[in-house]
Every structure is written in structure tokens, then in C-alpha cells.
């Protein structure tokens, strides 16, 4: 742990990403204790109030302005981060675990297992993702859990395809043959030899996927299939505020910046983690 | 060559392959066109005695590496039998084969690709001990790995390091430590020194010799460097396009080669001596014009010396 | 003989984020017209890097020529622009690389690839170039050259591809041909044919050759002069017979001694050079071979020995060593008789 932080201090980009991610996570966890107005309480007298920095700590202040129903945008962003981060992170992890495992299995066993899995991937890629999401939500009904499942469902195949390709190349490497030669079991080969060597590409895909999933969440919310109102989610805030962009720019801008910063910080942290887990780069640091 | 005499006196071979074949291709793909067949290993038979080094020489595409891999069933043979101490182990399931894995190990050519880049070299060497449940006690296992490191000439303090911190020669020592961890009787060494620097090759060859003396190992030593084969091996088999064209005691092969291909191969080795080198005249051999017919058989031409004729 | 190539104090580094690799350290030598120079060394010896850096073929950055001059026919190559180097390579200096698989473009016919330098450097017309391509293929011993010229690289065997590479290398009658591990990837029987071809070509067209290899045997049969490199430096150089029969550097001596030769009946162990190749990221101090040298003196670790004439040897035999190898070997001999 000590070496983790001392390594982190050496990388400006990594540290920036780490600090930002920590701030977002802490804000999400501690939201009720930050003294923010309720994210769902509307104040029709203060509809579309612009951001104001005077009297910042007075109870009625709206530092980032209010939306079309007079709800405090800062509060909605902070509470929205709870939903968005839980949904996006769960979907990334779920899709990642399933995708990496299936990718390893397909690449390791090849033959019929591989062909079946890859045909499923092809078929799913041929369907528009949005259509698939609509079908699933329509069938299961909108809820946070179902939203996570839908988003993971659109995500696993990206891992599976790339990891399978990596494993196909890795399994010809001599250290895998060497593992067979000592009589190592299938699980040992997959988990001890293949998995650590595909973590780097998996991490890269995961950082890209997180960004995509936050935006997809926004799209689903826009169609009314995501987080149900009045609960705030960044995607929903974006889609709802879109119509007011010419009159009240702050309604879409701040959630947009929140998404941007999250994606950026996760990418920076992801890049750094990738290097951190590479033993080749670790010693030179 | 006293070892060879004792090897001949003990009649039971350690490892035997009989009429081994490995064919690639031939299966039909999805669209119905059959891939062309390639006979990588074609009707190969030989035996390795305990404590003996059998050299397997050939050029690229001769099937020498495939022979080593099929022998250890890292690839399934198309036909033929593999016997270890007289029992037929061909086609055994992974589970039934596992006890034999303790006795038969392999060392690969590329010291870079043969180590897992994400595993410390200590973990890599201890893996066979874990897989076979030897030394279940962790600290006991650490001691055993440290002893293996010392035996192959590595500092046990390196155990926590990752492969990229080592030079080619050191990596090959790590591979050797892993291969001997379970006290095997037989090791397939697939071009183990080819990728190493010249100044390191002698170190690794000497290590092979020392381990043979100490542990009574038998080697199938696959190489294309004939001068190293001559130094290291008791017997030599020469492969050409999947077939053994000549096999016999090392001296017989080098002093009295019978097959035209063996002669061409021997005449092609550059000699590190300008005076001898200027007198050397390579004999040409056109492989495609001289492919041995399928009906050719190995005929005896001397004591334990056979050549493919037909 | 007038010098074709003069290398003076060439020093090349690679700067990476974590370390500086001192690849070539203060290498100086001259190469006469018509001479064949065999450069022997192992990985990290600087043998390839120094040749590639002369003609701007290393990536810069991370590579950097720190110091030095390379005079080719009196012109300093290191001062040339990219454009001028582009005109020089393939025309005045030809190359043959290790891997004939990756050095040829798989989607172009052999004819196109040989004709390209002919048309670019010599300005030949399409029909002139075609005629010359067939001549070149015949020169490098490819039978049925007319037909083979229209084929693609995958239709050629490894040895035949290397012959094509040689044809490209000599196509514009270069004054200097640099071959970098040109037979390493080939089978021994094919290597023998290629070496035969190179000897033959030298007789026919008299090109000056730098042959870079790790194989002492290849050099013994091909080179006039041998240059042994280690740790980015020249350890020893001289006429091939002098270096092989009377080595003065402990590294050359150790290398030759560690090779198995003849039957060696009853010999159980090879002579081995102890230790590992040098860490090229260390600032070079002293004799790079000193840590592995049983004869090293205290001075070898402190001071870099200059490359000077070897005592009582033929002219041109030079060695960089503080110790006297002949004396040390005589002591060793005496000790073994006690």
C-alpha cells in the first residue's frame, strides 16, 4: 500500500485522476451530510435561476443555478453521481468480468465453444444496441438493477472479442505449453497464466466502456427507460436540460462537465493503473 | 564415452516412440475446401536410454520440434505410440497423464516467451511443486525453490523478481530450475541455447552436463547447431522433412555419415578457424529432388547406426 | 589502398524515460576499398547499432549520435540531410538485413522491388530496369530469372528471398555493402550457399563489405579483417588469421575457446566465460569485459584501454587491453604443468 501511494505521487496524471475519482466517490457517499438542499425539492419561484456566487453559504443559495422546476443543480449532480456511479461502475464490472471470462474460455478452448460464443457476439453486434436495450427494459421493467443488466449486456462483447484474440496469441506462447507440460489444470492455466496477461487490455477497455456507459445511461434515461424521475441522474439531467440550452445554459452544462471530469479522471487513473500493474514498468519507477 | 557403453548394457529404454506421426491440415473448413495435409512428423521411431543424451538435428521444417512436443503430448499424435519405462502413455487423459508429467519435462528455445511475464520467477519455479502437491508447506516450498535456484546457478535473492529483469541466460536457468523441480528422469530440450549469446551458450551447456551427472537425467536435445550436438550427445538422429534419415552413435554420424543429407549438413557448418574454413567445401543437397519415398526403411550400416534407404 | 570509410570516435546513445543506453562508445576504424570487414559481437555489443547509425537508420529520438564523424569517400555522413542520406542509401551503400521475410513487401512482385532503387537512383527506364532485374537475379543464382521476376515473395523459399535481398543490395553497384546478420535466420545448408554466393560476388564486382554477425565461423571464412566488439567498444581487430590464431583480447580468446570443436573425446565441460552480458545502461567506465575477465587487472576497472597495435604481431592487429594476454596464458600454462 505504501508503495502504491509513493508510486502514485510520481505520476502527475495518475495523481490527478486518483484525487478526482476520490472526490467524486466521497461526495457520492457523503451527499446527505454536505448540507445541500434536497435534489427533488422544487422551488417554482426560483425556476431557472442562474448560477450565483454571492451568499454562497446562505441556505437558499444555488451556486450552480436551478433547473426548469427550480431544483438545485449542484445537489442534483451530487445525488445524481450516486446513481450514475453505482449504475456505471456496476455495469462496467459486471460486463467486464463476464466478458473477460468468456473471452478467455473462447480463446482457450477454441473449437465449438469459441464458434458459438463468437456467433452470439456477431448476432448481438448486428442488432442496434438501443433496440436491444429497449427490448430488455420493456420485458423486465425499468429499475436500477435492470438498467445495470442492460448496460452490462451491451458491454461484455467488447471485452470478449478483444480478450479472445489476446488469448489465442497467448496460448501458443511457450509458458502456456510449459504449464501443460507440468500437468497444470485448466483453471490454473486460465487464472494464473492467461488472466494476469490480459488484465492490461481489459483495463483499457474498461476505462473506455465507463465513458460509453455513462453516455448510454443518459440516452436510456432520455427515452424514459433509465432512472425514473424525480430521482436525479446525470444522463437524465442532460436530456431534460437540453431544450433550455439557449435560455438557461447551466442546466446542461454542469452535468456535462461532471460527466467529462468523471470520464477524464477515470481514464487517467486507468492509464496509470495499467502501468502500475505492468511489472516491466514498475521496477523502472 | 563411458556413459554410452553403460546405456547400451542396460536394455530397458526410458522413453520410446514407435512409428510416431503428426499430420496437420486435411480437415475440411466451414466452406468445404480441405486444407492441404502436411506430415510434420512421419513414421518416426527411436528410444532414449536412462542417462543418455539423444541429439535430434534438422533444419527448419524438419519436424524436430514437433517431435519433441508430440512426445510429451503437448500436441496429440496422429498415430503411433509413446512409451515411458515400457508403459504406453499415448492418448491418456490429462488426469491419467499427470503422474508421468513429473518424469518428463521440456525446456524451450525462446527464453523470453517461455516465462510468464506477470509471474515472479520464484512463483514460476514453485508452480510444478504446487500442481503436484509436493511440499504443501509454504516455507518448505520456499526452501526447495531456493535450493533449485542455487543448483542452476542463480541467487535465491532473485526469487521475487519478474522475468524482464533477467538476461537471456538467466531466464534459461529459471526454465531449467522449473524443469528439474519434480526430479524428472527425462527432459526434452528444444533448442535451449539457440537464442542465447555465444558467450552464454557454454555456461548453459555445462549446466546441462552437470545436471545429467548429478541427477542421471536423459535428454532429447533438439538443435540445428551440429558442433554443439557433437559435444553434448551420445547418439544423434538426423531429421529431414518429418523423417529420420540417419540415426546412430555420435562418432559414427560425424566420422562416417552415410546419408547424403547428413553429409551435406556436416559440410555446411562454418568452422571458426580461417585455415580450415578456406579449405571447406560445402556439399549441395537438393531436398525437393531427394525426398525419401514413403516406402523407405532404416537399414543397419553399423553398430547401432541406421540409415534411411529405399 | 585508400580508405573508403573512416569512422572516428562514434558514440551513440538511446535515451529512454528510465535510462540511457550507451550503445556505441567511441568506436574508430578505417575500411579500405575492396576490403571485407567481419564485425563479431553478441547482443548489446553495438555491432549493428553503430553501422545503422552511420547512415541514419536508427530512430532519432530515442537514438542520438553523441559524438563522432563517419567519412565515406571523404564526406561526413553524420552531417548529411535526410534527403541526402535517402539518395545515398541503396545507391552508394547497399544493405542486407537479417530477416528476408519482413524485409520484402509481400504485395509487390520481386521485379518491382528490385527495380525501385534502379529507377530511383539510376534513372533507368522501365524496360532497362526490367533487363537489369533479370541480370541481377541471374547474378545471385536464381534459376529461371525471367519468370521468377514476376512472382511474389511468398513464392520464394527463405534462401531464395535472401538472394533477392542481396540482389537489391548490390543492384546499384554500391561501393559499400553492409550485411547485418544476413544468414542468421537461414538453415546451415542455405547459409553455406549464401556465403558461397557472397564470396563469388566479391570476385565478380569487388564490392567493399561489412559483414555483421555473432558467428565466429562465418567470419573465419569470409572476412579479410575481423573486428570483435563488446559493450559498445572494439576489443580487438586485425587480419583474420592473426585474430583467430593469436588473439590478444581475453574476450576473443574466451569466445574461441568456449566453442566446441572437433570430437573433444573425453572432455566433459566446455570452457565458459563467467557472468552475464554487460548492463548497457551503466555509464561506461573501464574495460567493459573486465567483470567477466579472469585476467583483469585493477586498472581494467578504472580506465578504458585504448585500441593500440598488438605487440609482436602483424600490422593492423590492434587490441584494447591493459593486461598482456600472452603473458597471462603462459602463466596459466605453467601453472597447469605444476
List subunits contacting chain C, requiring 3 or more Cβ pairs under 8 Å.
Answer: A, B
Confidence of residue B1 (pLDDT cuts 50, 70, 90): very low
Q: Which residues, listed in sequence order, are joined to residue C21 by a DSSP beta bridge?
A: C14
All three cell numbers of C74: 571523404
Burial per residue of B136-155, b for 16 or more beta-carbon CB atoms within 10 angstroms, e otherwise: eeeeebeebbbebbebbbbe
Please classify residue B157 by burial: count the beta carbons closer than 10 Å to its beta carbon, then call 0-12 exposed, 13-18 middle and 19+ buried: exposed
Judged against a pLDDT cut of 90, whether residue B170 lies above it is answered with yes
User: Given an 8 Å threshold on Cβ–Cβ distance, is A175 in contact with B114?
Assistant: yes
User: Given an 8 Å threshold on Cβ–Cβ distance, is C254 in contact with B199?
Assistant: yes
How many angstroms away from the CA of C260 is the closest CA of chain B?
6
User: Given an 8 Å threshold on Cβ–Cβ distance, is C276 in contact with B169?
Assistant: yes
pLDDT of res. A85 = 82
Confidence of residue C232 (pLDDT cuts 50, 70, 90): very high
User: Given an 8 Å threshold on Cβ–Cβ distance, is B268 in contact with C244?
Assistant: no
Mean pLDDT of C273-289: 88
User: Given an 8 Å threshold on Cβ–Cβ distance, is B102 in contact with A183?
Assistant: yes
Least confidently predicted of A182-191, B94-103, C159-168: C159-168
pLDDT of res. A2 = 59
Radius of gyration of chain B (CA): 20
- Greater pLDDT, B225 or B243: B243
- Greater pLDDT, C1 or C135: C135
Q: Which CATH architecture has domain B2-28+35-103+182-252?
A: 3-Layer(aba) Sandwich (3.40)
* Residues A267, A271, A276: CA angle, nearest 5 degrees: 140
Cβ contact C10:C67 at 8 Å: yes
- Greater pLDDT, B121 or A258: B121
Residues 6+ apart with CB under 8 A from C71: C3, C5, C6, C7, C8, C77
Q: Give the pLDDT confidence of B42-53 residue by residue, as tens digits.
A: 999 999 999 999
Confidence of residue C157 (pLDDT cuts 50, 70, 90): confident
Judged against a pLDDT cut of 50, whether residue A41 lies above it is answered with yes
User: Given an 8 Å threshold on Cβ–Cβ distance, is C276 in contact with B269?
Assistant: no
Radius of gyration of chain C (CA): 21
Mean pLDDT of A108-134: 87
Q: Which residue is closest to C18 within chain A, CA to CA?
A: A284
Mean pLDDT of C269-283: 88
What percent of chain A stands above pLDDT 70?
93
Query: 3-state class of C171 per DSSP?
Result: coil
Judging contacts by C-beta atoms under 8 Å, the chain A residues touching residue B74 are 177, 180-181
DSSP A205-221: HHHHHHHHHHHHHHHHH
User: Given an 8 Å threshold on Cβ–Cβ distance, is B116 in contact with A196?
Assistant: yes
User: Given an 8 Å threshold on Cβ–Cβ distance, is B270 in contact with C265?
Assistant: no
Does the residue A39 lie in any domain?
Answer: no
- What's the CA gap between C277 and C291, in Å, rounded? 10
Does the residue A40 lie in any domain?
Answer: no
Judged against a pLDDT cut of 50, whether residue A216 lies above it is answered with yes
* Mean of the per-residue pLDDT values of chain C: 88
Candidates C99, C223, C92, C90; CA nearest to C168 is C90
Query: 3-state class of B24 per DSSP?
Result: strand
Confidence of residue B123 (pLDDT cuts 50, 70, 90): very high
Q: φ, ψ for residue A19 (rounded to 5)? A: -65, -45
Residue C143 contacts B where some CB pair is shorter than 8 Å: no
Cβ contact A210:A263 at 8 Å: yes
Query: B80 in the Ramachandran plot: left (φ > 0), alpha (ψ -120 to 50) or beta?
Result: left
How many angstroms away from the CA of A174 is the closest CA of chain B?
4
Mean pLDDT of C26-32: 93
How many angstroms away from the CA of C18 is the closest CA of chain A?
6
Q: What order of strands is seen across the sheet that includes strand C3-15? A: C20-32, C3-15, C63-72, C75-76
Least confidently predicted of A139-153, B226-240, C207-221: A139-153
- Greater pLDDT, A92 or A130: A92
Residue C291 contacts B where some CB pair is shorter than 8 Å: no
Does the residue A44 lie in any domain?
Answer: no
pLDDT of res. B5 = 44
Residue B194 contacts C where some CB pair is shorter than 8 Å: no
Strands (E), chain B: 15-24, 38-48, 53-57, 79-84, 87-88, 104-107, 186-190, 218-223, 235-240, 243-249, 297-302, 305-309
Residues 6+ apart with CB under 8 A from A14: A8, A268, A269, A271, A272, A273, A275, A276
- What's the CA gap between A134 and A258, in Å, rounded? 26
- Residue B197: CB atoms within 10 Å: 21
Confidence of residue A54 (pLDDT cuts 50, 70, 90): low
User: Given an 8 Å threshold on Cβ–Cβ distance, is A174 in contact with B114?
Assistant: yes
Pairing of β C93-96 and β C176-180: parallel
- Greater pLDDT, C31 or A51: C31
pLDDT of res. B262 = 93
Q: Give the pLDDT confidence of B93-106 residue by residue, as tens digits.
A: 989 999 999 999 99
| Structural domain count of chain A | 1
Q: Give the pLDDT confidence of A93-103 residue by residue, as tens digits.
A: 999 999 999 99
Judged against a pLDDT cut of 90, whether residue B248 lies above it is answered with yes
Q: Give the pLDDT confidence of B194-208 residue by residue, as tens digits.
A: 888 888 999 999 999
Q: Give the pLDDT confidence of C89-98 residue by residue, as tens digits.
A: 888 898 888 7
Candidates B236, B239, B208, B234; CA nearest to B65 is B239
List subunits contacting chain B, requiring 3 or more Cβ pairs under 8 Å.
Answer: A, C
Q: What are the boundaries of each domain within chain C?
A: 246-337
Confidence of residue B282 (pLDDT cuts 50, 70, 90): confident
Q: Give the pLDDT confidence of B249-281 residue by residue, as tens digits.
A: 999 999 999 999 999 999 988 888 888 888 888
Judging contacts by C-beta atoms under 8 Å, the chain B residues touching residue C252 are none
Judged against a pLDDT cut of 90, whether residue B132 lies above it is answered with yes
Least confidently predicted of B25-29, C148-152, C218-222: B25-29
Q: Give the pLDDT confidence of C122-153 residue by residue, as tens digits.
A: 888 888 889 989 988 988 888 888 889 889 98
pLDDT of res. B7 = 46
Mean pLDDT of A127-143: 81
What percent of chain A stands above pLDDT 90?
24
Cβ contact B115:B171 at 8 Å: yes
Out of B118, B127, B175, the one facing A197 most closely (by C-beta) is B118
Q: The domain containing residue A171 runs over which residues?
A: 10-27+49-282
Query: 3-state class of C227 per DSSP?
Result: strand
Confidence of residue C200 (pLDDT cuts 50, 70, 90): confident
**A–B interface: beta-carbon pairs under 8 A:** 72
B-contacting residues in C 144-163 (Cβ below 8 Å) = 158
User: Given an 8 Å threshold on Cβ–Cβ distance, is B114 in contact with A182?
Assistant: no
Residue C254 contacts B where some CB pair is shorter than 8 Å: yes
DSSP A229-269: TTS--HHHHHHHHGGGTTT-THHHHHHHHHHHHHHHHHHHH
Mean pLDDT of C173-194: 86
Q: What are the C-alpha distances in Å from A60 to residues A39, A64, A66, C252? A: 13, 12, 11, 86
User: Given an 8 Å threshold on Cβ–Cβ distance, is A188 in contact with B131?
Assistant: yes
pLDDT of res. A182 = 92
- What's the CA gap between B179 and B173, in Å, rounded? 10
Least confidently predicted of A22-26, A160-164, B151-155: A22-26
pLDDT of res. B9 = 52
Candidates C313, C325, C332; CA nearest to C289 is C325
User: Given an 8 Å threshold on Cβ–Cβ distance, is B115 in contact with A175?
Assistant: yes
Residue B224 contacts C where some CB pair is shorter than 8 Å: yes
- What's the CA gap between A179 and B155, in Å, rounded? 24
Residue B270 contacts C where some CB pair is shorter than 8 Å: yes
pLDDT of res. B205 = 93
Judging contacts by C-beta atoms under 8 Å, the chain C residues touching residue A285 are 18
Confidence of residue C265 (pLDDT cuts 50, 70, 90): low
User: Mean pLDDT: which of A31-40, B25-34, B170-179, C263-272 is highest?
Assistant: B170-179
All three cell numbers of A270: 486507468
User: Given an 8 Å threshold on Cβ–Cβ distance, is A188 in contact with B113?
Assistant: no
User: Given an 8 Å threshold on Cβ–Cβ distance, is B231 in contact with C270?
Assistant: yes
Judging contacts by C-beta atoms under 8 Å, the chain C residues touching residue B169 are 276-277
Judging contacts by C-beta atoms under 8 Å, the chain B residues touching residue A177 are 69, 74, 106, 108
All three cell numbers of C337: 604443468
Q: φ, ψ for residue B92 (rounded to 5)? A: -65, 150
- Greater pLDDT, C169 or B15: B15
Out of B200, B228, B277, the one facing C221 most closely (by C-beta) is B277
Residues 6+ apart with CB under 8 A from C271: B202, C254, C257, C258
Residue C281 contacts A where some CB pair is shorter than 8 Å: no
* Mean of the per-residue pLDDT values of chain A: 83
All three cell numbers of B278: 578456406
Query: 3-state class of C258 per DSSP?
Result: helix
* Residues C76, C81, C87: CA angle, nearest 5 degrees: 90
Judged against a pLDDT cut of 80, whether residue C334 lies above it is answered with yes
Judging contacts by C-beta atoms under 8 Å, the chain A residues touching residue B178 are 178, 182
Query: 3-state class of C188 per DSSP?
Result: helix
Task: Provide the CATH number for the domain around residue A123.
Answer: 1.10.3720.10
- What's the CA gap between A77 and A70, in Å, rounded? 14
Does the residue A37 lie in any domain?
Answer: no
Q: Which residue is closest to B116 within chain A, CA to CA?
A: A175
Q: Which residue is closest to C16 within chain A, CA to CA?
A: A284
Cβ contact A75:A37 at 8 Å: yes
Candidates B198, B192, B197; CA nearest to B211 is B192
Judging contacts by C-beta atoms under 8 Å, the chain A residues touching residue B175 are 178
- What's the CA gap between A77 and A39, in Å, rounded? 8
Judging contacts by C-beta atoms under 8 Å, the chain A residues touching residue C17 are 284
pLDDT of res. A180 = 93
Judged against a pLDDT cut of 80, whether residue B2 lies above it is answered with no
Q: Which residue has the cell 557472468?
A: C275
Confidence of residue B148 (pLDDT cuts 50, 70, 90): very high
Residues 6+ apart with CB under 8 A from B55: B221, B222, B223, B229, B232, B233, B235, B236, B237, B250
Query: B273 in the Ramachandran plot: left (φ > 0), alpha (ψ -120 to 50) or beta?
Result: beta
Largest Cα span, chain A: 76
User: Given an 8 Å threshold on Cβ–Cβ distance, is B199 in contact with C158?
Assistant: no
Least confidently predicted of A233-247, B160-174, C157-171, C267-281: A233-247
Least confidently predicted of A46-60, B30-44, B58-72, C125-139: A46-60
Q: What are the boundaries of each domain within chain B?
A: 2-28+35-103+182-252
- What's the CA gap between C224 and B275, in Å, rounded? 12
Which of A178, A192, A277 should we substitute to test contact with B (largest number of B Cβ atoms within 10 Å)? A178
pLDDT of res. B29 = 61
Amino acid at each position: 500500500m505504501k508503495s502504491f501511494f509513493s508510486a502514485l505521487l510520481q505520476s502527475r496524471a495518475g495523481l490527478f485522476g486518483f484525487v478526482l475519482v476520490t472526490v467524486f466517490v466521497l461526495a457520492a457517499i457523503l451527499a446527505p451530510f454536505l448540507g445541500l438542499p434536497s435534489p427533488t425539492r422544487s422551488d417554482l419561484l426560483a425556476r431557472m435561476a442562474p448560477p450565483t456566487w454571492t451568499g454562497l453559504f446562505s441556505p437558499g443559495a444555488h451556486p450552480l443555478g436551478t433547473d426548469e422546476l427550480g431544483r438545485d443543480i449542484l445537489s442534483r449532480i451530487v445525488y445524481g453521481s450516486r446513481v450514475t456511479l453505482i449504475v456505471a461502475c456496476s455495469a462496467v464490472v459486471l460486463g467486464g468480468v463476464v466478458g473477460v471470462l468468456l473471452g478467455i474460455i473462447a480463446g482457450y478452448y477454441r473449437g465449438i465453444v469459441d464458434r458459438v460464443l463468437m456467433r452470439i457476439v456477431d448476432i448481438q453486434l448486428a442488432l442496434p444496441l438501443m433496440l436491444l436495450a429497449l427490448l430488455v427494459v420493456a420485458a423486465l421493467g425499468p429499475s436500477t438493477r435492470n438498467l445495470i443488466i442492460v448496460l452490462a449486456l451491451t458491454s461484455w462483447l467488447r471485452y470478449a472479442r478483444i480478450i479472445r484474440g489476446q488469448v489465442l496469441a497467448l496460448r501458443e506462447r511457450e509458458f502456456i505449453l510449459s504449464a501443460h507440460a507440468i500437468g497444470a489444470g485448466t483453471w490454473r492455466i486460465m487464472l494464473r497464466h492467461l488472466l494476469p496477461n490480459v488484465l492490461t487490455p481489459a483495463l483499457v477497455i474498461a476505462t473506455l466502456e465507463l465513458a460509453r456507459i455513462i453516455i448510454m445511461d443518459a440516452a436510456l434515461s432520455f427515452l424514459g427507460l433509465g432512472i425514473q424521475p424525480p430521482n436525479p441522474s446525470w444522463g437524465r439531467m442532460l436530456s431534460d436540460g437540453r431544450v433550455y440550452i439557449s435560455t438557461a445554459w447551466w442546466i446542461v452544462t454542469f452535468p456535462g462537465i461532471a460527466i467529462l471530469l468523471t470520464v477524464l479522471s477515470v481514464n487517467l487513473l486507468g492509464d496509470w493503473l495499467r502501468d502500475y500493474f505492468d511489472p516491466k514498468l514498475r521496477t523502472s519507477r | 564415452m563411458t556413459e554410452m557403453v553403460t546405456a547400451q548394457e542396460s536394455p530397458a529404454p526410458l522413453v520410446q516412440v514407435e512409428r510416431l506421426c503428426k499430420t496437420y491440415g486435411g480437415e475440411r473448413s466451414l466452406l468445404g475446401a480441405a486444407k492441404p495435409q502436411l506430415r510434420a512428423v512421419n513414421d518416426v521411431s527411436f528410444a532414449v536410454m536412462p542417462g543418455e543424451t539423444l541429439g535430434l538435428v534438422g533444419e527448419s521444417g524438419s519436424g524436430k520440434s514437433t517431435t519433441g512436443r508430440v512426445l510429451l503430448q503437448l500436441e496429440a499424435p496422429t498415430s503411433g505410440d509413446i512409451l515411458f519405462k515400457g508403459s504406453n502413455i499415448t492418448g491418456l487423459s490429462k488426469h491419467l497423464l499427470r503422474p508421468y508429467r513429473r518424469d518428463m519435462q521440456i525446456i524451450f528455445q525462446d527464453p523470453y516467451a517461455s516465462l510468464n511475464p506477470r509471474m515472479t520467477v520464484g512463483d514460476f519455479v514453485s508452480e510444478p511443486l504446487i500442481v503436484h502437491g509436493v511440499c504443501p508447506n509454504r516455507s518448505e516450498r520456499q526452501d526447495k525453490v531456493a535450493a533449485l535456484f542455487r543448483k542452476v546457478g542463480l541467487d535465491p535473492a532473485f526469487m521475487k523478481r519478474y522475468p524482464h529483469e533477467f538476461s537471456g541466460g538467466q531466464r534459461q536457468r529459471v526454465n531449467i530450475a522449473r524443469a528439474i523441480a519434480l526430479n524428472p528422469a527425462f527432459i526434452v530440450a528444444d533448442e535451449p541455447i539457440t537464442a542465447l549469446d555465444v558467450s552464454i551458450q557454454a555456461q548453459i551447456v555445462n549446466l546441462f552436463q552437470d545436471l545429467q551427472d548429478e541427477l542421471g537425467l536423459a535428454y532429447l536435445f533438439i538443435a540445428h547447431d551440429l558442433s554443439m550436438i557433437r559435444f553434448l550427445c551420445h547418439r544423434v538422429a538426423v531429421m529431414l522433412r518429418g523423417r529420420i534419415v540417419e540415426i546412430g552413435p555420435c562418432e559414427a554420424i560425424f566420422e562416417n555419415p552415410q546419408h547424403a543429407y547428413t553429409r551435406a549438413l556436416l559440410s555446411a557448418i562454418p568452422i571458426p578457424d580461417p585455415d580450415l574454413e578456406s579449405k571447406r567445401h560445402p556439399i549441395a543437397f537438393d531436398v525437393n529432388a531427394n525426398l525419401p519415398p514413403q516406402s523407405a526403411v532404416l537399414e543397419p550400416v553399423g553398430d547401432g547406426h541406421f540409415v534411411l534407404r529405399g | 589502398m585508400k580508405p573508403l570509410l573512416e569512422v572516428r570516435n562514434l558514440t551513440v546513445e538511446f535515451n529512454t524515460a528510465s535510462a540511457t543506453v550507451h550503445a556505441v562508445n567511441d568506436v574508430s576504424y578505417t575500411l579500405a576499398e575492396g576490403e571485407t570487414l567481419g564485425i563479431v559481437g553478441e547482443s548489446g555489443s553495438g555491432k549493428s547499432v553503430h553501422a545503422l547509425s552511420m547512415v541514419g537508420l536508427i530512430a532519432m529520438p530515442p537514438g542520438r549520435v553523441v559524438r563522432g564523424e563517419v567519412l565515406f569517400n571523404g564526406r561526413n555522413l553524420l552531417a548529411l540531410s535526410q534527403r541526402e542520406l535517402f539518395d545515398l542509401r541503396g545507391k552508394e551503400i547497399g544493405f542486407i538485413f537479417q530477416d528476408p521475410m519482413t524485409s520484402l513487401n509481400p504485395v509487390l512482385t520481386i521485379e518491382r522491388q528490385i527495380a525501385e532503387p534502379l529507377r530511383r537512383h539510376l534513372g533507368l527506364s522501365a524496360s532497362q530496369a526490367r533487363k537489369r532485374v533479370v541480370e541481377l537475379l541471374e547474378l545471385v543464382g536464381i534459376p529461371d530469372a525471367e519468370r521468377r521476376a514476376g512472382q511474389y515473395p511468398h513464392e520464394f523459399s527463405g534462401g531464395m528471398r535472401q538472394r533477392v535481398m542481396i540482389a537489391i543490395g548490390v543492384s546499384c553497384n554500391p561501393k559499400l555493402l553492409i550485411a547485418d546478420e544476413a544468414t542468421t535466420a537461414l538453415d546451415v545448408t542455405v547459409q553455406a550457399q549464401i556465403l558461397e554466393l557472397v564470396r563469388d560476388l566479391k570476385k565478380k564486382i569487388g564490392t567493399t563489405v561489412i559483414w555483421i554477425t555473432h558467428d565466429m565461423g562465418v567470419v573465419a571464412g569470409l572476412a579479410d579483417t575481423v573486428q570483435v566488439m563488446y559493450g559498445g567498444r572494439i576489443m580487438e581487430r586485425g587480419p583474420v588469421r592473426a585474430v583467430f590464431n593469436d588473439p590478444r583480447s581475453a574476450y576473443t580468446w574466451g569466445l574461441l575457446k568456449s566453442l566446441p570443436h572437433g570430437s573433444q573425446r573425453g572432455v566433459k565441460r566446455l570452457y565458459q566465460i563467467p557472468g552475464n552480458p554487460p548492463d548497457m545502461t551503466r555509464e561506461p567506465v573501464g574495460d567493459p569485459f573486465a567483470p567477466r575477465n579472469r585476467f583483469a587487472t585493477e586498472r581494467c576497472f578504472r580506465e578504458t584501454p585504448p585500441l593500440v597495435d598488438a605487440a609482436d604481431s602483424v600490422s593492423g592487429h590492434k587490441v584494447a587491453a591493459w593486461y598482456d594476454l600472452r603473458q597471462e596464458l603462459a602463466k596459466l600454462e605453467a601453472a597447469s604443468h605444476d
